Structure 1
């Protein structure tokens, strides 16, 4: 009965495909991550059972706000923490068959990144480097080394006068990276940054708060 009630009020807040393209991870407001087999669900012979998750596990005590995949891990973000789950373990459940819930060797993450003082809105991977960037409600963008789990850099965007918009708050809702460049926004203005020098180079004249951003070729 409890699970049935949860399903009525469940919201999917984030999703990410595996690097091989065979699986889809979806995170919800209960802190759970479900892993689906895309190949099975999209098959011409797919049945209702094929559309059920291969596994559902409790990733965080609070909602899963962001997901992103590296070649080896699924990264999930919640209230002040980022966790790394090995895709090699998540994908094993398809080979075993059936439905698995809150079990398995991946119930403990291989890596935990802590530093944000509030919930984390967004994650992005830095190209050609084993690094991840996160933006949060605390107004910071944090750069992480995924090999060691160390926090490499903290950028307090709202403290830069050209970016600050106190009337909108300091939260960072979206970010994207392209080599040595980052663009981020939310409460502060949408701004292009040079990461090596930690310098804001371009402030985009958009009055609204941005919720999504990406790089496309030479465009933002």
Structure 2
């Protein structure tokens, strides 16, 4: 059994979410704990902050020693992707109560001839349809109805586990350990297109593998990275536009944000770049590996970067770190 001191020192944050109001930040770690920070008091302090004020306001144990792989915010619920189960917590309870319990759960089907439950690696929510998309460690994407919690569809065209999901209009885009980026039509649940970045000599890194750790898109471009380099592809033609010249050993965060690119992973730097590959800023990170970076503009701008460290880097102008939170 890992003692408390070692847990504090070796903890890793795998996932993050803001509350719908933007005043709270929740982090999910490898020990099954949700840590809640009162973000507005940290970003807009009335005086100098004490060490205690930079640690969690509250903690919720989802399931002890089973990691929190993914987090998702809806207007009313915090949805938590664990191991074999999706949990839902009411935001009003998280904000007001010390003894918070999940209000409902969804069990992930177990299709394997094994007792091992599958990791829920990534979650997406479609507010228009009320559908939750769960990318899982059994190579499948599950589509659930949030009201009935019933499974609507299983998408299983990946050959290895799913790392990441994003949407673009009617398209669902998935990236996995198999190196595939599949583009699904959400109206038919069929693959309309795909790219295999590792087949491009400028992108592939054989020493790191073919896996895709992050995907993002807008109307014109698709961004992806993992073992393969962070690269930008024309969405219509699926041809390579830009390969980003950053020094990393694997990418877990890649996002198109306005006219910029965010990227992070196994590197001591979190990057902000232009579409043509110019580096705009490099933020030194507390973690050796960044697993999650989330941001918001309202009610105040904040970028939160977390990973293989109990320390969380807060950037209120998105350009440099100006605050550091701690899980303990």
Give the TM-score band, short-chain normalised: 0.7 to 0.9
Q: Tell me which residue corresponds to 1:195.
A: 235
What SS is found at the alignment partner of 1:15? strand
- Out of 80, 83, 88, the position equivalent to 1:35 is 88
| Cα distance in 2 between the residues matched to 1:192 and 1:39 | 39
More displaced stretch, 112-121 vs 205-214: 205-214
Q: Tell me which residue corresponds to 1:53.
A: 102
Give the number of the structure whose residues are more often helix, by fraction.
Answer: 1
Q: Deviations over 1:61-99 (max 9, x none)?
A: 31111111112211001121111111233xxxxxxxxxx
Shift of 1:41: 2.0
| Cα distance in 2 between the residues matched to 1:26 and 1:119 | 18
| Cα distance in 2 between the residues matched to 1:87 and 1:64 | 16
Q: Tell me which residue corresponds to 1:92.
A: none
Q: Tell me which residue corresponds to 1:180.
A: 220
In the superposition, the TM-score normalised over structure 1's length comes to 0.81
In the superposition, the TM-score normalised over structure 2's length comes to 0.55
- Out of 246, 265, 282, the position equivalent to 1:206 is 246
Shift of 1:180: 2.6
Shift of 1:189: 0.6
What SS is found at the alignment partner of 2:63? helix
Where structure 2 has 5 or more consecutive residues not aligned to the other structure, the ranges are 1-61, 111-117, 262-328
| Cα distance in 2 between the residues matched to 1:7 and 1:87 | 21
| Cα distance in 2 between the residues matched to 1:157 and 1:60 | 30
Where structure 1 has 5 or more consecutive residues not aligned to the other structure, the ranges are 1-5, 90-105
CA separation of 1:213 and 1:60: change in aligned 2, threshold 3 A: farther
CA separation of 1:41 and 1:150: change in aligned 2, threshold 3 A: same
Shift of 1:39: 2.2
Q: Tell me which residue corresponds to 1:216.
A: 257
Shift of 1:198: 0.6
Q: Tell me which residue corresponds to 2:188.
A: 148
Q: Tell me which residue corresponds to 1:119.
A: 161
1:84 aligns to 2:143 (yes or no): yes
1:24 aligns to 2:78 (yes or no): yes
